[in-house]
A and B are shown apart, each in its own frame.
Chain A
Amino acid sequence: MDPLISSAADQLFSKAAPPEAVREVLNGQAGDAMWAEIEASGFLDGLVPEQLGGSGLSATDVFPVLFACGKYAVPAPVGETMFARAALALAGCECVPGPVALGVRSGSKHGGFASFDVPHGRVAAWVLVSGEDGTVVLPTDGASFRGPGSDSLSLDLRWDSCTDDAVELPLDADWLVAGARIESAAMAGAMESILASSVRYAGERVQFGRPIGRFQAVQQQVSILTEQVFASRMAAELAFSSPRAQAAVDLLAGADRPRVAAAKTRIGEAAILAAAIAHGVHGAIGITEEFDLQLHTGRLQSGRLRFGSEAYWARELGRNVLTHGGARVVDFLREELTSSRGASP
């Protein structure tokens, strides 16, 4: 993970998205000020190629930014907007202003569109609606129906017809993979915060005359949590380190899909365990609105549902292994999932 980009992202989000501001957005506010600061950082054009006016960052470069989004529970579609802007630029379309959410596997009928449970839909100005008939970027305020989604940031959305300002995006991209890739990084980041909070709390909270972290039962639980966090971070990093999926054009095409499948599966499984252990260690205080742990465990819960859960991605990965030309599982593991040769250091 590039330490410079990583610390720049930490700096940005610790200032733009402190826990109070995160709560306000989760509780219904729009978060315009937060978005303005993120916009000013320049990260949102990170994936846009240099010759098209962006910074031309690689997947390896943007990983720390997306990881930090999870670490700070940033309630905005930062990764989604980065991917969408790169796609618009590559297709020669005008950039749309403001946050862009991803409405994957959307339906279209009689000129209208329906997107189900769009992550960050409530705080997005635009939704990139992708389905079998292509991709169109629609304004959220032009939607004819808005229904609550599975968390306070997501929405079910319908548009009766294409709006005037809609942008058609003639680019062959795999938005489900893009979303799952982004989400893997964010979930791994959220887990890092959960671990830090658990270790801190176990050292501070005193019961029976000593810090609870001195009890072996608590130590063993925190060790399991640590292992899950290490595994998740590695799985996420692998999804951004494939030599075949570094440039925006390849990322958008969904290159090295099996790595994303492995990451989303592994991290989704870890998320269940991590959230359960962290809440166990924190006791009742962790159940309060006021204590920050809930921001991160809530983030994990949402993340599992977004862009395919473990059930979806594990099945796809299993099929990939079986149809991989009769090679051994270990060969698939080495060649398709864990080699980082060619990625920038």
Chain B
Amino acid sequence: MIPVLDLSEIPPEDEALRAPVRAFLQERLRGMPAERRARSWMGFDAEFSRDLAAQGWIGLTFPQEYGGLGRAHFARYVVVEELLAAGAPVSAHWIADRQSGPLILRYGDETQRRFFLPLICRAEAFFCIGMSEPNSGSDLASVRSRAHRSQGGWVLNGRKIWTTNADRSHFMIALVRTSGTTDDRQKGLSQFVIDLSLPGVTVRPIRDLAGDEHFSEVFLDDVQLGEDALIGQEGAGWEQVTAELAFERSGPERFLSSIVLLEEWAIYLRSLARPSEQDEVLLGRIVAHMTALRALSIAVTARLVRGDKPAVEAALVKDLGTELEQLIPAAIANALGADPGHASPSALRHTLAYTSRMAPSYSLRGGTREILRGMIARGMGLR
């Protein structure tokens, strides 16, 4: 059975970060249209990331010797919650701050930590994740990209796809096979950090249904890697990737993807002389869902702080969260169309259009709904 998630609290010293982050964002994002803010953690702005880094707010959970602030997970929770609530364009540093940095800190060797972590904290190194391949989506253990030992290192061949920010990142952390065959499944997989400027790396951006180009296909042809490109243990890639995904799935981003749209709609409702009863009910329902989700998400973070590995709990919160994130655009579309011919602000409608288009991706990226529910069922002892 999955252990109960107890109500937990953000410690005051971490909560204290909220006011300065908020003040910074108010100033820095002034005038940015809602439709752009709605891109949430898909919005890429390297200059913004560097300004944030200058405040010390990237990699702030890393120890000070590696350029971080040595703060607890809750400090990052507070910063991230404010960034997402404001619709800040965090995509450039997002993956490094959330996953790649913590992964290097945990499994990397001292040389790797000293090299990469300070770069991440200064927003001078952006990362992408090379897990998915054309024939390996949910079945991640079936990856076919492969690294062979060579003199003084490794030679890498294969293909990755849907790699967010591959075209704008400096490094990729890729999961590839280093021994055995796909029949060996989770055994024989390893993680490498790949400098994307190396010969043999070709990145081809893919346009998404909203017209943006945030993910890419990445071709890896005889890419020569040094010994120092291996992260952690050879053959321990699966375990490392699983730990990484618990970080990916647990944060406040898992219920805030549609928040800019919700805030815009609430602003619009406030501007009306009298919002309809249906609108009030809908807003109340959404907020009631968010109430439970935020508390659950904080409870999962409390587990991380204690050093647990709440992978199943994180999957549970993510699945619940994406459901709400997808309900928000669907229900607001219904609400705005409830009175044909009635005018609503065009910024609101554009934000709605964007959020509605991207909403299906919420329950794909980071593990599909069916896969997460499979994890929960296992947690409940059914598999």
Residues on A lying within 8 angstroms of B by beta carbon are 1, 199, 202-203, 213-214, 216, 218-220, 222-224, 226-227, 230-235, 237-238, 241, 259, 261-263, 265-266, 269, 310-311, 313-322, 326, 328-330, 332-334, 337-341
In the assembly, what is the distance between CA of A269 and CA of B290, in Å?
13
In the assembly, what is the distance between CA of A237 and CA of B5, in Å?
11
> Within 8 Å CB of B296, what residues of A?
230-231, 234
A266 touches B284 (CB 8 A): no
In the assembly, what is the distance between CA of A224 and CA of B372, in Å?
10
Complex A-B: 10 CB contacts under 8 Å: A1-B4, A223-B374, A231-B289, A265-B284, A314-B281, A318-B280, A329-B266, A330-B263, A333-B294, A334-B294
A266 touches B292 (CB 8 A): yes
B382 touches A203 (CB 8 A): yes
Tell whether A329 pairs with B284 under 8 Å between CB atoms, given A199-B381, A238-B7: no
Task: Output the least CB separation between A161 and chain B (Å).
Answer: 38
In the assembly, what is the distance between CA of A224 and CA of B322, in Å?
13
B263 touches A328 (CB 8 A): yes
B283 touches A219 (CB 8 A): no
In the assembly, what is the distance between CA of A330 and CA of B275, in Å?
20
A231 to chain B: closest residue by CB: B292
A63 to chain B: closest residue by CB: B7
A268 to chain B: closest residue by CB: B288
B272 to chain A: closest residue by CB: A322
Tell whether A317 pairs with B287 under 8 Å between CB atoms, given A230-B316, A234-B295, A326-B270: yes
B262 within 8 A of A: yes
A222 touches B382 (CB 8 A): yes
A227 touches B376 (CB 8 A): yes
B6, B7, B296, B379 pick with most chain A CB within 10 angstroms: B7
In the assembly, what is the distance between CA of A83 and CA of B381, in Å?
39
B373 within 8 A of A: yes
Contact of B291 among A238, A269, A341 (CB under 8 A): A238
In the assembly, what is the distance between CA of A259 and CA of B288, in Å?
9
Which 4 pairs of residues, A with B, have the shortest CB-CB distance? A314-B284, A318-B284, A317-B284, A318-B280
Tell whether A315 pairs with B284 under 8 Å between CB atoms, given A219-B374, A226-B316: yes
A314 touches B288 (CB 8 A): yes
B266 touches A322 (CB 8 A): yes
B156 within 8 A of A: no
Q: A213-B377, A337-B287, A338-B298 are in contact. List 7 more A-B contacts (CB 8 A).
A: A199-B1, A216-B374, A220-B377, A227-B376, A269-B288, A311-B281, A334-B294
Task: Output the least CB separation between B14 and chain A (Å).
Answer: 12
A227 touches B288 (CB 8 A): no
B330 within 8 A of A: no
Tell whether A318 pairs with B287 under 8 Å between CB atoms, given A203-B381, A230-B316, A329-B266: yes
> Within 8 Å CB of A232, what residues of B?
292
A259, A269, A321, A341 pick with most chain B CB within 10 angstroms: A321
Contact of A202 among B4, B319, B382 (CB under 8 A): B382
B295 touches A338 (CB 8 A): yes
B80 within 8 A of A: no
